A and B are shown apart, each in its own frame.
Chain A
C-alpha cells in the first residue's frame, strides 16, 4: 500500500514570497491533516479536512495560510506571504475516518522542509 506522498521535499524561499505544498493521501482515506513542525517541537495541527470539507482550522494563521482539498483527495497548503518564523517542516497525514474522541491512527507523509530567508 502506497503511503502519503508530499512534494516538494525541500523548499527555500525569501520572506514575503509565496509557496505551495502538495499532498496525496493514502487511497480511501477520507480525513486529511496538515501539521507544522518547528525544529525541536512536536507537530502542530494547522487544518483538518473530512473529504473536501474543513473540520478544524482553528490553528491556521488565516491571514497568510490557506489550504484546499477540492475533490476530496489531494490537498494543497499555501503560504502567502511567507515570514521567517514559517521555517518548519510541513507534514501531511491521513486517516480512514474522523476517529471517535481519543482514538487516533494517522499516517504521515515525509514532510516538506521549508526555509524562509
Chain B
C-alpha cells in the first residue's frame, strides 16, 4: 500500500493562500495523487488529481515534484467556508482500493 503522511491540522487567515503538503515516499509508477475535501456531516468531495508537475482547476492547484514523493495542494485566497479536512490519497498498488489517512484539518480564521 502506498502510504501518505500529512500534518494533522493547520490554521490560516481568511484571504490567504493555503498550502497543504503530503508525503508519499512509496508511490508507484502508475499511481495518481488525488485530493478530497470533507466538511462536517458530509461525505468527501473530489478536489483535484494529478500525476506530475502542476495541475490547476477552478478550486485549487496541485504541485508535484519530479520525484513524485510529495505533493502540495494550494488553495488560493481561502474563505471561512474552506474550513474542512483535506485528504491526500495515492493509488493502491494495483487493487484500486482507495486508502484514506487521517487527513489534515484546515481551520480558516476570520
- By CB atoms of chain A within 10 A, which of B87, B96, B99 has the most? B96
Chain A positions within 8 Å of B49 at CB level:
103-105
The reply to whether the CB of A25 lies closer than 8 angstroms to some CB of chain B is no
**Which single member of A48, A91, A102 contacts B32 (CB below 8 Å)?**
A102
The dominant DSSP class at the A interface is loop
Contact residues of B: prevailing secondary structure: loop
Q: Known A4-B43, A43-B44, A101-B28; judge A106-B98 contact (CB<8 A).
A: yes
> Which of A40, A105, A109 makes the CB contact (< 8 A) with B46?
A105
- The reply to whether A101 and B46 form a contact with Cβ atoms under 8 Å apart is no
Task: Known contacts A42-B87, A55-B96; decide if A107 and B32 are in contact (CB<8 Å).
Answer: no
B43 touches A111 (CB 8 A): yes
In this complex, the interface size class of chain A, counting residues with CB under 8 Å from chain B, is: 20 to 34
A91→B31 contact, CB < 8 A? no
Q: How large is the interface on B (under 10, 10 to 19, 20 to 34, 35 or more residues)?
A: 20 to 34
CB distance from B101 to the nearest CB of A (A): 5
Residue in contact with A104 in the complex, picked from B32, B43, B45, B101, CB distance below 8 Å = B32
**Complex formed: what's the CA distance from A41 to B103 in Å?**
8
CA distance in complex: A109, B44 (Å): 8
Do residues A101 and B100 form an inter-chain contact, with CB atoms below 8 A? no
Whether the Cβ atoms of B45 and A102 lie closer than 8 Å is no
Does chain A have a CB within 8 A of B62?
no
Q: Which residues of B contact A (CB under 8 A)?
A: 28, 30-32, 34, 41-46, 49, 51, 87, 89-103
Q: Could you show 21 A-B contacts with beta carbons less than 8 Å apart?
A: A40-B102, A42-B100, A42-B103, A43-B100, A48-B96, A56-B97, A91-B43, A93-B43, A101-B91, A101-B95, A103-B49, A104-B34, A104-B49, A104-B96, A105-B34, A106-B44, A106-B98, A107-B46, A110-B41, A110-B42, A110-B43
